[in-house]
């Protein structure tokens, strides 16, 4: 987030919500380990054949997911696309690239590929006149490693994403690679919601594992500050797509991934920005927060609420909160003193390890409480906490499009908001008064980012 003198009008973005938001791809998911319960029932291998599969747990998990995906799309496809779902014609292929029996794959795997080509990967393949077209192939050793470290739902998530590409193969692909990949993420999210609702016969996911799924998408994003024709999307782009499917189902995935869909994935604009990864020094990040937040809210009050905003005092503290707040809080808003504070030692400093925009996100949360107080709305209760997270998403959407406080947002900054919420947002010293999961926190932020103040319970 380097300094800039570029200034553009923010009025349009403040009066309406700022809208943001191949087929074969590698899925690497990171999160905290959380062993899932055993599936309610494993589908017998005779009922769903996976070529090359063994008797291990990963093939069982993948087979269970594929069976449930077939059931889900048989149910959902007619309503979403007006036709029955044609089953995959090329089948499914499991490979351990370090122990390949060529006799098990007489025509190769997906689209005739060498089984070793799937190493560290999973892919859906559809090609004219190729053997095993319209199929899903995966490296089970790779998925085993991921599942051991990051949770048993990971193989199912991989299958759901690749199955999303199979859906696209039947109804048509979006115009750009980034839309192809994020739409598949959306389809995976829609199926995951169905599983979370207990409707799947063979697959299960627990609420804490949803946080793990979001954390894992960090490694699915494109490299920060680089754009290519084969783009998959930023961290925020991909989890937004997943959550959109989770919340709104497959018809939202069908309708919202056209060529007009904007994304936050973007390129660095200078060598100096690339050299720093778009991150300003810690002190500068605090200064940017102090400049950008009052400018945003001043414009928001003027153009959206028809009122005048009085900036609160923004006071960083070290270890001990101001007297007007509880000692155990790391983010504070004191209405009587009109003071907003954050603990720069115990919160902002560690959050800066994520990136400079994590510091700005931290300051934006209690700052939104000040805005609510000036609008005559509640502060400190559950509704206010939810609203402040949503409003921080709105602030970030505007900042993405328009310089604020003399600076421009950098590629990857909105990703840092998501990382901050997942890493620190479930701590009651940061987000008090309400027990929200990381998934719920990010969802609130996402709603504000896409829908603006209309989603944030502020009377518009």
pLDDT at 287 over 60: yes
pLDDT at 11 over 70: no
Averaged over 388-410, what is the pLDDT?
96
Task: Give pLDDT, residue 1.
Answer: 56
> Could you write out the DSSP letters of every residue in 263-280?
-S--B-SSHHHHHHTT--
414 CB neighbour count, 10 Å cutoff:
27
pLDDT at 333 over 80: yes
Rounded to the nearest integer, the mean pLDDT of the chain is 89
Q: Which residues of 174-204 are buried (b: 16+ CB within 10 A; e: fewer)?
A: bebbbbbbbbbbbbbbbbbbbbbeeebebbb
308 CB neighbour count, 10 Å cutoff:
9
Task: Give pLDDT, residue 20.
Answer: 28
pLDDT-based confidence at residue 78 (cuts at 50, 70, 90): very high
Averaged over 100-112, what is the pLDDT?
95
In terms of phi and psi (left: phi > 0; alpha: psi -120 to 50; beta: otherwise), the region of 52 is: left
pLDDT at 92 over 70: yes
pLDDT at 310 over 70: yes
Domain boundaries, the chain: 11-17+278-455, 57-255
What contacts 236, CB < 8 A, 6 or more positions away? 264, 414, 415, 417, 418, 449
Six token digits for residue 443? 């969802």
Task: Give pLDDT, residue 216.
Answer: 78
Task: Give pLDDT, residue 327.
Answer: 79
139 CB neighbour count, 10 Å cutoff:
26
pLDDT at 220 over 90: no
Percentage with pLDDT > 70 across the chain: 91
Averaged over 216-244, what is the pLDDT?
84
Task: Give this prediction's pTM.
Answer: 0.88
pLDDT-based confidence at residue 227 (cuts at 50, 70, 90): confident
Q: Which of 207-211, 292-296, 368-372 has the lowest mean pLDDT?
A: 207-211
Task: Give pLDDT, residue 230.
Answer: 72
Task: Give pLDDT, residue 19.
Answer: 29
Averaged over 171-190, what is the pLDDT?
94
**Three-state secondary-structure class, residue 392:** helix
Tell the residue number behind the tokens 């949503």, with chain if given.
390
pLDDT-based confidence at residue 40 (cuts at 50, 70, 90): low
Task: Give pLDDT, residue 330.
Answer: 96
Q: Which of 35-44, 371-380, 421-430 has the lowest mean pLDDT?
A: 35-44
């Amino acid at each position: 987030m380097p300094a800039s003198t570029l200034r553009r009008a923010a009025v349009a973005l403040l009066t309406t919500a700022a809208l943001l938001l191949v087929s074969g791809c590698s899925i690497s998911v990171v999160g905290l380990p959380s062993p899932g319960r055993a599936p309610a029932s494993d589908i017998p291998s005779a009922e769903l054949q996976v070529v090359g599969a063994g008797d291990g747990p990963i093939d069982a998990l993948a087979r269970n997911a594929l069976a449930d995906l077939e059931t889900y799309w048989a149910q959902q496809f007619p309503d979403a696309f007006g036709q029955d779902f044609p089953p995959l014609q090329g089948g499914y292929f499991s490979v351990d690239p370090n122990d390949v029996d060529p006799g098990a794959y007489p025509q190769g795997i997906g689209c005739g590929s060498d089984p070793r080509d799937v190493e560290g990967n999973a892919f859906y393949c559809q090609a004219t006149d190729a053997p095993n077209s319209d199929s899903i192939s995966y490296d089970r050793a790779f998925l085993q490693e991921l599942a051991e470290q990051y949770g048993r739902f990971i193989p199912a998530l991989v299958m759901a994403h690749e199955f999303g590409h199979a859906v696209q193969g039947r109804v048509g692909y979006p115009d750009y690679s980034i839309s192809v990949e994020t739409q598949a993420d959306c389809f995976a999210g829609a199926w995951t919601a169905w599983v979370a609702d207990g409707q799947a016969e063979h697959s299960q996911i627990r609420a804490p594992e949803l946080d793990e799924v979001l954390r894992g998408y960090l490694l699915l994003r494109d490299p920060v500050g680089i754009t290519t024709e084969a783009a998959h999307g930023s961290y925020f782009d991909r989890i937004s797509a997943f959550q959109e499917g989770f919340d709104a189902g497959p018809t939202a995935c069908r309708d919202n991934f056209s060529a007009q869909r904007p994304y936050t994935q973007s390129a660095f604009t200078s060598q100096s920005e690339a050299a720093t990864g778009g991150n300003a020094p810690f002190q500068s990040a605090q200064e940017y927060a102090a400049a950008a937040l009052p400018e945003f809210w001043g414009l928001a009050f003027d153009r959206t609420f028809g009122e005048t905003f009085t900036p609160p005092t923004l006071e960083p503290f070290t270890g001990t909160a101001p007297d007007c707040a509880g000692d155990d809080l790391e983010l504070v808003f004191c209405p009587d003193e009109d003071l907003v504070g954050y603990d720069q030692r115990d919160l902002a400093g560690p959050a800066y390890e994520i990136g400079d925009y994590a510091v700005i996100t931290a300051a934006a949360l209690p700052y939104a409480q000040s805005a609510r107080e000036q609008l005559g709305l509640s502060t400190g209760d559950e509704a206010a906490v939810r609203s402040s997270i949503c409003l921080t998403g709105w602030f970030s959407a505007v900042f993405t499009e328009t310089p604020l406080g003399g600076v421009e947002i950098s590629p990857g900054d909105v990703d840092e908001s998501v990382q901050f919420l997942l890493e620190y947002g479930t701590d009651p010293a940061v987000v008090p008064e309400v027990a929200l999961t990381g998934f719920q926190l990010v969802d609130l932020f996402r709603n504000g980012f896409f829908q603006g103040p209309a989603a944030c319970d502020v009377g518009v």
